[in-house]
Amino acid sequence: MKVKEIMDKEFIVVSPGDSIVDVSIMLENHRKFTTPVVDDAKKLVGWVTSLDVTRGLREGNKTIKDIMHSKDDIVHVHQNDPARLAVLEASQHKVVSIPVLDDDDVVVGVVRTFDIVKTLSSLYEVKVSKIFEAMTEELKGVSWDELMEASAIVTRRRTGKRVKPEDYERRIKDSTFGEAIWATGGLEKFFVGLIAIGELVIARKVAKARK
């Protein structure tokens, strides 16, 4: 995934010569805490936050160029950078938004942390049952019921808890991938549990075929 796929294209821009009062109204109306400052060619020249604006208003500054951060002092990414880079930059620098540039340094978007949260969290929200459905499609000759039975057996072996196949089925229908990796203690452990289930159903399939 690239930065351009997660960036917000509905952003506002301001100019170094804009009045601070006008920009404060603009930020309030658009509910933005930050905005890129661009030149006449829409190239990034700086960055302003609502905290720069409060200071500017208090101290009686007149225009954006008096309060803005220069381009060199802020984080920015390229639209073709991996989305991963914007995610790392946002969490490392603890910023709420990052301007996105094209090859000519023109601002083409803004990546916002709540959009990143939305993108990242969609993975966590995948229902565990979807993974099991994909498993039965992949493992030809293994039925859903056989998979649930094997899952109940593996759960008992690993946790010592007795669960019925139908309890297991209900649990994976209700739970998300995020909850599952949390409950099992991490991605690797979650996956190893699946492999153990896969190993058991395959062993049973082989045994059945031999009869």
* Chain positions contacting a copy of itself, by CB under 8 A: 1, 21, 24-25, 27-28, 31, 33, 49-51, 53-55, 57-58, 82, 84, 87-88, 90-91, 94-96, 112-118, 120-121, 123-124, 126, 130-131, 133-135, 137-139, 176-179, 181-182, 187-189, 191-192, 194-196, 198-199, 202-203, 206
Nearest to a copy of itself of 39, 89 (CB atom): 89
Tell me how far, at minimum, the Cβ of 13 lies from a copy of itself, in Å: 17
CB of 36 to a copy of itself, least distance (A): 17
What residues form DSSP beta bridges with 106?
43
C-beta of 83: minimal distance to a copy of itself in Å?
Answer: 9
Q: Which is nearer to a copy of itself, 45 or 87 (CB)?
A: 87
Minimum CB distance to a copy of itself, residue 186 (Å): 8
